[in-house]
């Protein structure tokens, strides 16, 4: 199933570099074409000759080699690939990627590419746990770079902990999964809501909530990644706009509803936004002064976007998915919510204090349909998004690429 797929393997200088030899062999067994780029440090661990012999292609490495640039410029190198995989990814190359440094062929290609990138980190546990590495990884994840592992285990340096590179088999599986999902939702239109809403009290104050938009943005990314023509209607967040997605930024629930209605008709709607249930009945034109007694705030209910989309008559998306953020008794509360809202599926999660769901990087959800409840293990929000997008593709009878 990797027939005719072109993988650009970027090898950086870590002790796990030898594992890329096995990976190349396995990729080629599955029909992929593999081309390798080595950093200078990588050549201390594996030789260009062995990589060249296994990949059946020449190996690239020196940015300033005129022959390389003549035969295959670094831009062309990145454009020619279907997927870029950094194996192993050292703390150093992850830092250079996060900063956008392009000081050798490997990092130049990574900066020049518009293709999907995966990284398989490999480093000492202390380097892995360092705040700098954590921050770099967070930047890379936000740019939709897929991070594979690392695992925990004995390290070459004699220590034990997280930082061991995932095995070649696991990397192969991630690569296969990527191509499996390629284009599964092509031809379908999707609408996703994400983030909080801001409901003004006066020009400086507002009612909002702790939603980070991470889950909603990840869902838009996953749907677009599988080929759906995707519109993301989002409240104010710190998230980067996903590439290939039409992003509409709004502040209030009423603006969100209007933007959603304008985006119809769509085949799919996923309402992941944490819409404020109430807004101030009247928002003041001028900043409310602190003098005198505290003002009293009169609230009124906001429109329910999920319910509106679920009951949109002829314009109703074929599949409407809502979220239910609950504190305790999650499933028991979410099941009737699905019926109340009139949506097809509800993704329910626990946002109790201590779960870190709001703003965190992971999520543990239950997928509730008319006929079933599935509890998924705790996963990164990206993985939840991909799993949900796969369910959606199944629902539309869009089979994965033949294995
Ligand atoms: O009723 P509750 O807020 O728990 O419902 C959550 C679900 O409803 C989420 O999918 C959320 O995006 C959606 N919702 C909405 N408009 C509202 C309130 C919630 O779309 N005003």
Measured from the CB, is residue 46 less than 6 Å from ligand 1? no
Who's near 53: CB < 8 A, 6+ residues apart? none
CB atoms within 10 A of CB 352: 13
Query: What fold, for 189-395?
Result: Rossmann fold (3.40.50)
Measured from the CB, is residue 275 less than 6 Å from ligand 1? yes
Substitution site in 198, 215, 271 for ligand 1 pocket (most atoms within 8 Å of beta carbon) = 271
Rounded distance from Cα 343 to ligand 1 centre (Å): 11
- Is the bond preceding 150 in cis, omega lying within 30 degrees of 0? yes
**pLDDT in the model for residue 350:** 86
Measured from the CB, is residue 118 less than 6 Å from ligand 1? no
Q: How far apart are the first and last CA of the chain?
A: 5
Measured from the CB, is residue 233 less than 6 Å from ligand 1? no
* Percentage of the residues of the chain whose pLDDT score is greater than 90: 75
Query: What fold, for 6-178?
Result: Rossmann fold (3.40.50)
Q: Average pLDDT, whole number, for the chain?
A: 92
- Per-residue pLDDT at 74 exceeds 80: no
Neighbouring-strand partners of residue 348? 324, 366
- Per-residue pLDDT at 72 exceeds 90: no
- Name the active-site residue from 157, 260, 271, 343: 157
**pLDDT in the model for residue 386:** 92
Confidence of residue 61 (pLDDT cuts 50, 70, 90): confident
Residues of the chain with CATH 3.40.50.10300: 189-395
Helices (H), strands (E): how many in the chain?
14, 22
- Per-residue pLDDT at 25 exceeds 80: yes
Substitution site in 194, 273, 274 for ligand 1 pocket (most atoms within 8 Å of beta carbon) = 273
Measured from the CB, is residue 322 less than 6 Å from ligand 1? yes
Residues of the chain with CATH 3.40.50.1950: 6-178
Q: Ligand 1 atom 21: the closest Cα is on which residue?
A: 304
Is residue 20 annotated as a catalytic residue, yes or no? no
Q: Ligand 1 atom 2: the closest Cα is on which residue?
A: 324
Tens of pLDDT along 164-190?
Answer: 999 999 999 899 988 888 889 999 999
pTM over 0.85: no
- Determine the atom of ligand 1 nearest the C-alpha atom of 325: 4
Who's near 29: CB < 8 A, 6+ residues apart? none
Who's near 28: CB < 8 A, 6+ residues apart? 34, 54, 55, 56
Who's near 2: CB < 8 A, 6+ residues apart? 27, 30, 31, 32, 175, 176, 179
Measured from the CB, is residue 271 less than 6 Å from ligand 1? yes
């Amino acid at each position: 199933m990797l027939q005719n797929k072109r993988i650009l393997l970027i090898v950086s200088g870590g002790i796990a570099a030898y594992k890329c030899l096995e990976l190349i062999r396995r990729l080629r067994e599955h029909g992929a074409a593999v081309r390798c780029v080595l950093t200078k440090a990588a050549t201390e661990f594996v030789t260009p000759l062995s990589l060249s012999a296994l990949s059946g292609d020449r190996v690239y490495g020196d940015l300033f080699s005129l022959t390389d640039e003549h035969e295959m410029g670094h831009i062309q190198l990145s454009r020619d690939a279907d997927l870029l995989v950094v194996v192993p990814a050292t703390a150093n190359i992850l830092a250079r990627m996060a900063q956008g440094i392009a000081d050798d062929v490997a990092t130049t290609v990574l900066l020049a590419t518009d293709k999907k990138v995966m990284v398989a980190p490999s480093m000492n546990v202390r380097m892995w746990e360092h705040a700098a590495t954590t921050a770099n990884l967070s930047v890379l994840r936000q740019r939709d770079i897929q991070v594979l592992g690392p695992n925990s285990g004995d390290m070459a340096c004699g220590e034990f902990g997280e930082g061991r590179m995932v095995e070649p088999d696991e990397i192969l599986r991630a690569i296969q999964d990527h191509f499996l999902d390629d284009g599964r939702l092509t031809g379908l239109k999707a609408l996703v809501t994400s983030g909080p809403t801001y409901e003004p009290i006066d020009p400086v104050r507002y009612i909002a909530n702790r939603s980070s938009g991470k889950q909603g943005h990840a869902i838009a990314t996953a749907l677009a990644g599988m080929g759906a023509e995707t519109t993301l209607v989002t409240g104010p967040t710190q998230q980067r706009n996903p590439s290939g997605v039409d992003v509409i930024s709004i502040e209030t629930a009423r603006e969100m509803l209007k933007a959603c209605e304008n985006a119809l008709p769509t085949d799919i709607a996923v309402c992941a936004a944490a819409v404020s249930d109430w807004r101030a009945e009247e928002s003041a034109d001028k900043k409310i002064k602190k003098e005198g007694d505290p003002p009293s705030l009169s609230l009124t209910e906001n429109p329910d976007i999920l319910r509106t989309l679920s009951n949109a008559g002829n314009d109703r998306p074929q599949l409407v998915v809502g979220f239910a953020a609950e504190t305790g008794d999650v499933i028991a509360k979410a099941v009737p919510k699905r019926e109340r809202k009139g949506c097809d599926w509800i993704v329910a999660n626990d946002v109790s204090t201590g779960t870190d769901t709001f703003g965190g990087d992971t999520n543990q959800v239950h997928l509730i349909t008319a006929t079933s409840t599935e509890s998924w293990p705790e996963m990164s929000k990206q993985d939840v998004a991909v799993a949900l997008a796969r369910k959606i593709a199944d629902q539309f009878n869009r089979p994965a690429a033949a294995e």
